[in-house]
Amino acid sequence: MNKDSLPKIISDLNGIIDNLKLILNESVETSAETSAEYTSSETSAEYTSAETSAEYTSAETSAEYSSAETSAETSAEYSSAETSAETSAEYSSAETSAEYTSAEYTSAEYTSAEYTSAETSAEYSSAETKPKSFFLDSSKHSWPNFKYLSGEVHGNLTKTRTMALDDFDVIHSFGYKSNMYIKTDTVLDNIYREDKGLKSAADMYKGYIGTVDASDGNTYFCPAYSTSIGILERKTGAIRTEQKWNITPQVRSGAEGANGIIYMPSYTKTLHIYTYNIKTGEAGSFTPPQTGFFGHIWGAAADKEGNVYMPPALSKKILKIDKFGDASLLEGKPVTSGAFGFDVKYVGATYVEDVNKVFCLPRCGKKILVINCADDSYEEIDLPADYLAVANKNKNFHGFLAPDGWLYSAFWADTKCFRINPRTYEIQWRDYSTYFMDGKSSVEEGSGIQNLGTGFSTCAKVVGNDVYLGLAGTSRAIKLEF
Where are the domains positioned within the chain?
117-481
245: CB partners within 8 A, 6+ apart: 223, 227, 228, 274, 283, 285
Candidates 208, 206, 146, 143; CA nearest to 179 is 206
Name the residue with higher pLDDT: 452 or 394. Answer: 394
Q: Report percent pLDDT > 70 for the chain.
A: 69
Name the residue with higher pLDDT: 136 or 188. Answer: 188
Tell me how far apart the alpha carbons of residues 94 and 53 are, in angstroms, rounded to a whole number: 7
What's CA 446's distance to the chain center, in Å? 22
Q: What is the mean pLDDT of the chain?
A: 78
Name the residue with higher pLDDT: 9 or 219. Answer: 219
Render pLDDT for 148-158 as a digit per residue (tens, 0 to 9).
999 999 987 88
Tell me how far apart the alpha carbons of residues 398 and 432 are, in angstroms, rounded to a whole number: 17
Name the residue with higher pLDDT: 286 or 76. Answer: 286
Supply the pLDDT for residue 453. 83
Q: Report percent pLDDT > 90 for the chain.
A: 65
Q: Which uninterrupted H or E stretch holds 321?
A: strand 319-321
| Of 16-30, 238-252, 393-407, minimum mean pLDDT range | 16-30
Supply the pLDDT for residue 200. 53
Render pLDDT for 288-316 as a digit per residue (tens, 0 to 9).
999 999 999 999 999 999 999 999 999 99
Render pLDDT for 76-100 as a digit per residue (tens, 0 to 9).
333 333 333 333 334 333 333 333 3
Calculated CA dihedral for residues 234, 469, 394, 352, nearest 10 degrees: 60
Query: Quick one: CATH architecture of 117-481?
Result: 7 Propeller (2.130)
354: CB partners within 8 A, 6+ apart: 405, 422, 423
**Average pLDDT rounded to a whole number, residues 420-438:** 98
Render pLDDT for 164-205 as a digit per residue (tens, 0 to 9).
999 999 999 999 988 899 999 999 999 999 876 555 555 689
121: CB partners within 8 A, 6+ apart: none
Tell me how far apart the alpha carbons of residues 376 and 287 are, in angstroms, rounded to a whole number: 22
Supply the pLDDT for residue 418. 98
What burial class does residue 160 get, using C-beta atoms within 10 Å of its C-beta: 0-12 exposed, 13-18 middle, 19+ buried? buried
Model confidence, pTM? 0.75
